[in-house]
């Protein structure tokens, strides 16, 4: 009988561990997707039904019923506007910080960390009062403003790390050619940091698309976003698992898309704060 060499045994157990962990990671997500395609009875059945004919009934019900389409549009409008404003404003700020060395790097990194610490739960009380006074309560504008504030420090951090890699000479020669600072920013810097903009956009979109508690407080039944809409379904009489998981799948859809198409950017974004310190 042949005995496997020691190295192979270690290697195989290594892969087995990684595969088992991956299954644990994927399983709950699989359950969510599967449940959204099951018939109502099957979502409650015990033992669980593993093989079933998928039905689109829950998705149809969700789209027809209530204000789902409105909430979906709200989510899309709020998330994309937040991304757009955050990138422009954050890009300006990042450029200011990188090219004009008037603030210490330490101050910026400490401030970014501090800003990242502000808990949404702490924000909701003052925002509730101030937005009411300003008359932007229950508007998408108010929500977008709060989200830009929440995501801006992250955007600045990411874009700054990409801008620092651009050699100063490029800009210097542009200055000599008579470009203004604004020209340089839009025509040279922004095109050069496209990958950075992609990373920042994904993460800002994630913040605005996934956020729950601020949206719960600052919106009403016309302006609310999808995560809040899900929570409203949960509290209604008798949990309709099929419909709730259908909305959940739709909410998770951008996450799936980003993950499969830009895993590399996401890893860069995740590690930007930690490794680049």
Quick check: 116 binds another protein (CB under 8 A)?
yes
Which residues between 257 and 276 bind another protein (CB under 8 A)? 258-260, 263, 266-267, 270-271, 273-275
Residue 22 near another protein by CB under 8 A? yes
Q: How far is the CB of 26 from another protein (least distance, A)?
A: 6
Residue 241 sits at the vertex; the CA angle it makes with 235 and 247, to the nearest 5 degrees, is 85
Q: Where do the DSSP E strands lie in the chain?
A: none
Token representation of residue 3: 């005995």
Rounded to the nearest 5 percent, the helix, strand and coil shares of the chain are: 80, 0, 20
**Separation between Cα atoms, residue 216 and residue 42, nearest integer Å:** 31
| 121 interacts with another protein by CB under 8 A | yes
- Identify which range of 55-63, 119-127, 166-174, 190-198 contacts another protein by CB under 8 A: 119-127
76 lies in the site for another protein, by CB under 8 A: no
Told to check if 156 binds another protein by CB under 8 A, we report yes
What 3-state DSSP class applies to 179?
coil
Query: 15 or 177, CB closer to another protein?
Result: 15
Member of 4, 12, 18, 168 binding another protein (CB under 8 A): 18
Contact 71, 224 (CB under 8 A): yes
Q: How far is CA 172 from CA 92, 121, 191, in A?
A: 18, 45, 17
Q: Is 158 in the site for another protein (CB under 8 A)?
A: no
Task: Report the nearest approach of another protein to the CB of residue 182 (Å).
Answer: 9
């Amino acid at each position: 009988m042949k005995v496997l060499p020691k190295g192979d045994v270690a290697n195989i157990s290594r892969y087995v561990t990684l595969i088992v962990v991956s299954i644990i990671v994927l399983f709950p997500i699989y359950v969510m997707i599967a449940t959204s395609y099951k018939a109502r009875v099957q979502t409650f059945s015990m033992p669980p039904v593993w093989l079933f004919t998928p039905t689109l009934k829950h998705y149809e019900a969700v789209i027809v019923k209530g204000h789902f389409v409105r909430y979906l549009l709200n989510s899309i409008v709020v998330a994309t506007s937040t991304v757009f404003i955050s990138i422009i404003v954050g890009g300006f700020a990042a450029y200011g910080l990188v090219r004009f060395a008037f603030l210490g790097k330490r101050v910026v990194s400490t401030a970014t960390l501090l800003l990242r610490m502000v808990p949404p739960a702490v924000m909701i009380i003052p925002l509730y009062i101030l937005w009411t006074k300003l008359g932007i309560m229950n508007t998408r504008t108010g929500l977008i403003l709060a989200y830009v504030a929440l995501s801006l420090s992250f955007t600045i951090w990411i874009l700054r790390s990409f801008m620092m890699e651009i050699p100063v000479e490029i800009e210097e020669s542009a200055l000599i050619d008579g470009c203004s600072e604004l020209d340089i920013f839009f025509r040279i810097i922004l095109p050069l940091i496209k990958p950075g903009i992609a990373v920042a956009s994904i993460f800002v979109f994630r913040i605005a698309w996934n956020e729950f508690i601020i949206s719960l407080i600052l919106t009403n039944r016309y302006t609310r976003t999808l995560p809040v809409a899900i929570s409203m379904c949960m509290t209604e009489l008798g949990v309709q698992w099929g419909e709730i998981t259908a909305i959940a799948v739709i909410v998770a859809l951008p996450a799936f898309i980003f993950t499969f198409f830009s895993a590399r950017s996401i890893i860069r974004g995740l590690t930007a704060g930690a490794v680049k310190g």
